[in-house]
Amino acid sequence: MQEHFDDHWVQQARALGWRSRAAFKLQQLDERLALLRAGQVVVDLGAAPGSWCQYANARIGERGSLIAVDLLPIEPLPGVTIIEGDFREQAMLEQLQRCLNGRAVDVVLSDMAPNISGIRTVDQTAAMYLAELALDFARQQLRVGGHWICKVFQGEGFDELLRSARAEFEQVRMHKPESSRDRSREQYMVGIRYQGNSCS
């Protein structure tokens, strides 16, 4: 716990009013790859507590639209539409479609991670399942040329996900932001310029 409070990025997040240090991960990815810009439509999967929303919403501005989805409650954020529920369920997808009102999505964000059991093989399987769901969601919702950012963990299922993403995007990049903890196995798979058009 003391390590958490002493963490540079935790202290910086507190100073800037971010809800968690995770905001810096998205910021660093965006600064490197220029994925977010004014006026975009963005969907954030697994958005709680909302720090990615805070950063993304500032980038897309008032002309943009951000929809945050999570099973957990998210404290309201100005300019952000929050849907509490499971994006795998049809009712939630219908609610999301109503919020989109016919607009295709420019960027899909996913910082989802499973509840950790401590059993590495079980946790890896669960994490890759969430990543696969996030990629499938991107296939259905992204406009041509849109982007996808997803937390992944190296291990079983990773190579298959990478192959699938490369079939969908013009370019796929792997990054571990500076603000990720050194001991963490997390990386971010970034799909740049979606090639399909599931939203037409």
At 100, which amino acid appears?
L
What DSSP state is assigned to residue 113? -
Give me 193's structure tokens: 């310029």
Give me 64's structure tokens: 């943009």
Q: Is 151 a catalytic residue?
A: yes
d(CA 32, CA 84): 31
C-alpha closest to that of 109 among 28, 191, 190, 45: 45
151, 152, 165, 177: the catalytic one is: 151
C-alpha closest to that of 68 among 200, 55, 15: 55
Residues assigned a catalytic role:
151
